[in-house]
Amino acid sequence: MLVSLLSAFALSQAYRTVTAIIATGLQADFGISSQSLGAFAGLFGLSFGVAQLLMGIGMDVYGLRRTVLLSFPLAVVGAALSALAPSYGWLMLGQLLIGVGCAPVFLASTVFISRHFPSERFAFFSGLGMGVGGLGLLFTGTPLAWVVQHWGWRTGFGLLAVLSLLSWLLIAWRVHEPVSAHTTQQTRESWGQAFRRMGALFQLPHTVGILILGMSCYAAFLTLRGLWLGPMLIGRYQFSLVESGNVALLVSLISLFTPAMFGRMDPGPARRRRWLNNFSLLMAALFLLMAFLHHAAANVALILLMGLVSGYSILQYADVRSSYPPELTGRALSLFTMAMFLGVALMQWLTGIVAAWAEGRGIEPYQAVMFSIAAMLATASTAFRFLPSSPLLQTSKA
């Protein structure tokens, strides 16, 4: 059942990183600017993030299976619409539908693990799930680059639509939630009660720091991998589309294993926040180095190193679970996932604006983009360090 849910998550990963491969094709066909390209990439994260709140409540009220089966067909329709889009506006509508359709798939996998696997293995199984979902990143490397180079970006979206339909059929066939203490003891609540319980999370002082860092860590890596990797390698170093796809494939292959690796290395609640601080600052330093180091081989090496380090973000899910009592865990995970993808949307949109601003002033746009990502990530890490932590974590330290 978990593998079936993860098949949809893998396709979600493909959708959120497809822009890096099709960007040049979109610009050629529709004549869109860097700012419009950033808005296109960010719309997935925006629609995905906004829908998280409804999806998290829907899972508690109606169950994981029904929520995913009702939502994921929107991704199929959105991909088909994107493949046929006659203009940029239709393409944006397709992206909106894809984001909403994919909204429940990773949360469903995470909540499934939380409910049906041992709590002490949560970080490991979440990392393992993230790694399996990373197969979608592999698809948007060399395979999709080859398809796009030979048959165009519309064929790529058509292929994703077919694969999404097959995933939906697999979930309908295989996923049936087992009975657990959570499902037997839970009484169905109204949507109003659900919203009030979600709002209660904001009354806890440690929520702010968690959300600020949550909006930055994954967003930084995905803004590179899902938006700027292809354009930067092609624009800076004249890589071909397939060559840039090869780099994307390598970094995606690395990222298959790093979440599970960091999940296994999880230092526990007492030291986890320090790890999150240190690794997020390390990632910011790598982006800063990439901004000013104009050497093709060195930049590729930095990208691969970022793929290795990026797995640390799985520790944020373990931090969320440790920071809230069991009755709030599902809502907290939902809120965190929403913040994470709103952060993706915000960062991709802002970097599109930064790139357009830099181009207008004769500044190398990719330098400005990487510098801005480093600044946002370092600021979020600093805020997380000094904002309050959960009393539950302070108890564990004692």
DSSP letter string, 360-398: HTT--HHHHHHHHHHHHHHHHHHHHHHSPPPHHHHHHH-
Domains in the chain with CATH codes:
2-173+190-397 (1.20.1250.20)
79-93, 99-113, 197-211, 218-232: which is most confident: 79-93
| Number of C-beta neighbours around residue 234 at 10 A | 16
What single-letter DSSP state applies at residue 313? G
Question: Which are the contacts of 264, defined by CB distance < 8 A and separation ≥ 6?
Answer: 123, 124, 127
* Two structure tokens written together for 42: 């960010």
**Mean pLDDT of all residues in 280-291:** 96
In 3D space, the residue among 90, 88, 91, 131 whose CA is nearest the CA of residue 109 turns out to be 131
Q: What is the pLDDT of residue 297?
A: 94
In 3D space, the residue among 372, 380, 336, 375 whose CA is nearest the CA of residue 354 turns out to be 372
In 3D space, the residue among 55, 50, 69 whose CA is nearest the CA of residue 5 turns out to be 69
Which amino acid is located at 196 in the chain? Answer: R
List pLDDT tens digits, range 210-261: 999 999 998 999 899 888 998 999 999 999 989 998 998 898 888 878 887 8
Is the pLDDT reported for residue 118 higher than 80?
Answer: no
Place of tokens 């994307």: 248
What does the alpha-carbon distance between residue 384 and residue 233 come to, in Å, rounded to a whole number?
A: 32
Q: Which of 97-106, 115-124, 343-352 has the lowest mean pLDDT?
A: 115-124
**Mean pLDDT of all residues in 161-189:** 76
Which amino acid is located at 147 in the chain? Answer: V
The structure's pTM equals 0.78
Is the pLDDT reported for residue 115 higher than 90?
Answer: no
What does the alpha-carbon distance between residue 397 and residue 118 come to, in Å, rounded to a whole number?
A: 22
Question: Which are the contacts of 360, defined by CB distance < 8 A and separation ≥ 6?
Answer: none
List pLDDT tens digits, range 320-339: 888 888 777 767 877 888 88
Q: What is the pLDDT of residue 367?
A: 96
Q: Which of 200-214, 326-340, 351-365 has the lowest mean pLDDT?
A: 326-340
Which residue did the predictor score with more confidence, 133 or 68? 68
Per-residue pLDDT band for 102 (boundaries 50, 70, 90) equals very high
What does the alpha-carbon distance between residue 336 and residue 379 come to, in Å, rounded to a whole number?
A: 18
Per-residue pLDDT band for 185 (boundaries 50, 70, 90) equals very low
User: Which residues in 46-57 are b (16+ Cβ under 10 Å) and which e?
Assistant: bbbbbbbbbbbb
Which residue did the predictor score with more confidence, 321 or 368? 368
259 within 8 A of 126, measured Cβ to Cβ: yes
Q: What is the pLDDT of residue 4?
A: 92
Question: Which are the contacts of 76, defined by CB distance < 8 A and separation ≥ 6?
Answer: 101, 161, 164, 165, 168
User: Inter-axis angle of helices 269-292 and 314-323, to 10 degrees?
Assistant: 150
